[in-house]
Amino acid sequence: MTRTYRRAADYVAASLIFLRDNVLLREPLRAEHLKPRLLGHWGSCPGITMMYSSLNALVRERDADVLLVTGPGHGAPANHANLWLEGTHEEYDSALARDAAGLTELSRRYCAPDGFPSHLSPAVPGTLHEGGELGYALATAFGAALDAPDRLVACIVGDGEAETGPTAAAWHSPAFLDPVTGGAVLPFLHLNGYKISSPTVFAGMSDEELHALFHGYGWDCRIVDVRDDPGGEPLDAAVRDAHDRITAIQEQARHGHRPERARWPMIVLRSLKGQGAPAEVAGQRIEGTFHAHQVPLSAVHDDPEQLAALEAWLRSYRPEELFDDEGRPSPEVLAHCPSGARRIGMQPAGDGGRLRRPLDLPPAEPYAVDVADGPGSATASPNEVLAGWLTEIVRRTGERRDFRIMSPDELASNKLDAVLKATGRAWNRPVDEYAEDLAPDGRVMEVLSEHNCQGWIQGYLQTGRHGLFPTYEAFASVVDSMVNQYAKWLKMSHEVSWRAPVSSLTYLLTSEGWRQEHNGYSHQGPGFINNLLTKKPTVTGVYLPPDANTLLVTMEHVLRDTGRINLVVAGKHPAAQWLGIDEARRHCAAGAAVWPWASTGEGSGAPEVVLACAGGIPTVETLAAARMLRRDLPEARIRVVNIVDLCSLAPPDRHPHGLADADFEALFGTDLPVVLDFHGYPSAVHQLLHGRPHPDRFHVRGYVEEGTTTTPYDLLLSNGVSRHDLAITALEHLRGRPAETGDLAVRYAADRDRLRAELRRTGVDPAEITTWRWES
């Protein structure tokens, strides 16, 4: 039965790559039966079918709850073949029924406009990982296994993918997986020897070396070699044995005897690249070489010899034995498939939005900072305030276990470690030396790998849970490529009618560049904002709350949100607080607003200049500049605008958060000069403002790649975003006051140069900067 099923799956996978008609070879194969474009990756398909088939056997025999994550996602023809044979495709679309018409339709859709792409995608049932985004499958699989004690996440890792840094880091994930509260991950390293045109590193390793490598990682490795016998019985046996060992670890731990160092099983499958393809055509070896990686017979349209070879290859699977006269899979093939919700493609976690429950959020008011004495009257660390609120979330979700924090070893540094009062740091390895707050079932996960954090949280969210990813601002860009792929996944998910939205992925970027004076230039990099702004506006949001209360309100919003990637930038250092919690709610709801208490002449005519700001440090500098101008040029009409939702600057037809034209005009007018102090690179703001009236009137100041190990104010001066620079720029654009503003600008420049000379002499910022407070 196993061999027959695998023949059927391999036949269907090959036909998807090559055929658009005559898909069951009921007549001789002709060139007109071929697809005009041949796309796909045959090389990994036979191995994927072997692993899928062995997992099917496990499900049938033991009623295992299996979710499959496929790393070599360009082997999608194999996944489609198995989904079609088990009837999952038909469940979602009756046009893909298990008959000749349904297989023809599936074949025509594969790699066709408006059909299925060449890799796995959200339109493929049972998937939560794109595949083809090399290196991320294993960490994603672990995220899916967390807090799902009955779930077995099988993860196929290609041996080319296994060369990547993210995969190398992900092999350490068992150290963070609790065998009591979590499920298990069963990795399959698919070792077929080749990448696109060269051998893989793992192909050059002996069995002894592979055992040693994975033993060092903490795995119990079993190597299954099917190069001479692709029937699959040894792999079936290895999967059963792995399941026995997983069950034993879990039962031991769940009966009060946690293993000190659980050694989870994994399988290395040695197979031939493109196993089953022609061994040789026209003197060119194919099976078992990199020539089988993508489309083995790429000249089949024009080369009769290749066409004959293709027909012989497809007929070698004996499709007449596998499908009846109507094209339905034979009873022997169907008997190998699980039924109902146990089919791998029907696994509920593969559409995790349907498992999601709203997060139990506490009210923000008890944690808010009191600013009853006016703006700037209180001082607090935004992150420390937030940590108290997050701690209560962790407590409230203790029984449900559907909220986690993934952080690259920076929780304490970022002033969020109060959450450790409610949970520990996940850890399932012995510790010989001193450590604090470790717990096998901890829901804070700290590892010095942004890739692991990204993969873990993607897998966790995609299977219906909630999470937060706080990290140093400068190092968020480590996962730029993973964010690119995830944003595409979300965008496509929105276009799949049957997918339910999952919780939004929230980044909290802290230890921001403007306060990295002790780390220096390497830790000054706000470019993650720019990367996110290149993504589809329907799946992205960027927030820069100016104080603790707006941070609380922003986090309320993003942790309720679904289907997006939200970026929140906040500071950890004690700073002035501006808005009470009710004002913060109104401000965040608006996205951007005038701060009348900081403006001058609001009731006596149109402003002469707008001072705008986005971000914690820019807000302080903008208010300080406004205060200087208010003191020295009291008759000037200066409006202060704070922006908390950066995307509100975009026109509403370009971003769903964009302010309506009338609201934008109420803040910035249509031709007023605007001096905008921005947390990140000025280009991000200019990108958003494109399409607004007269965008050249916005004079955006921000980070311009000037930095070193220096004082905070010197860093601002170096980038031209200090209060003195902002005030000088405002004076340059004040209308109708050249006589008054010229001397004042010279004075401000002299003050700026004096402060810089002083701080360079003393090594610290002058008191007039560090002790500055807002005065009405």
Cβ burial 124-156 (10 Å sphere, 16+ → b, else e): bbbbbbbbbbbbbbbbbbbbbbbbbbebbbbbb
Radius of gyration of the chain (CA): 30
pLDDT at 462: 98
User: Cα(745)–Cα(735) distance, rounded to whole angstroms?
Assistant: 14
User: Cα(493)–Cα(506) distance, rounded to whole angstroms?
Assistant: 18
Contacts of 624 (CB under 8 A, 6+ apart): 723, 772
The answer to whether the CB of 519 falls within 8 A of the CB of 709 is yes
pLDDT at 621: 98
Q: Is 210 exposed, middle or buried (0-12, 13-18, 19+ CB in 10 A)?
A: middle
User: Cα(651)–Cα(640) distance, rounded to whole angstroms?
Assistant: 21
Q: How far is CA 370 from CA 98, 366, 373, 377, 495, in A?
A: 65, 10, 8, 9, 44
For domain 365-575, the CATH class is alpha beta
CATH number corresponding to 592-770: 3.40.50.920
Could you give the strand order of the β-sheet that contains 444-446, starting from the edge strand earlier in sequence? 438-439, 425-426, 444-446, 403-407, 466-472, 505-510, 565-569, 540-543
The answer to whether the CB of 473 falls within 8 A of the CB of 512 is yes
Q: How many CB atoms lie within 10 A of CB 322?
A: 22
Fold match flag (2-347 vs 365-575):
yes
User: Cα(603)–Cα(615) distance, rounded to whole angstroms?
Assistant: 27
Phi-psi bin for 728: left (phi > 0), alpha (psi -120 to 50), beta? Answer: alpha
Give residue limits of the domains in the chain: 2-347, 365-575, 592-770
Cα angle vertex 410, ends 458, 445, to 5°? 45
pLDDT at 707: 85
Cα angle vertex 89, ends 88, 95, to 5°? 140
If DSSP codes are grouped into helix, strand and coil, which group holds residue 630?
A: helix
Q: How far is CA 299 from CA 41, 46, 289, 311, in A?
A: 15, 22, 18, 14
Q: pLDDT tens-digit profile of 157-197?
A: 999 999 999 999 999 999 999 999 999 999 999 999 998 88
Q: How many helices (H) and strands (E) does the chain have?
A: 25, 22
Kindly report whether the global pTM for this prediction surpasses the value 0.85.
yes
Q: What is the mean pLDDT of each run of 10 residues along the chain (776 residues)?
A: 91 97 97 94 95 97 97 92 98 98 98 92 94 86 98 96 95 97 98 92 96 96 90 89 98 94 96 92 89 91 95 97 97 96 96 97 97 96 98 97 94 95 96 90 97 98 98 94 95 97 97 81 91 96 98 98 98 96 98 96 82 98 97 93 98 96 96 96 97 95 91 94 97 74 91 94 94 91
pLDDT at 735: 66
The CATH architecture of the domain made up of 2-347 is 3-Layer(aba) Sandwich (3.40)
The answer to whether the CB of 54 falls within 8 A of the CB of 241 is no
Instruction: Work out the end-to-end distance of the chain between its first and last CA atoms, rounded to an integer number of angstroms.
Output: 82
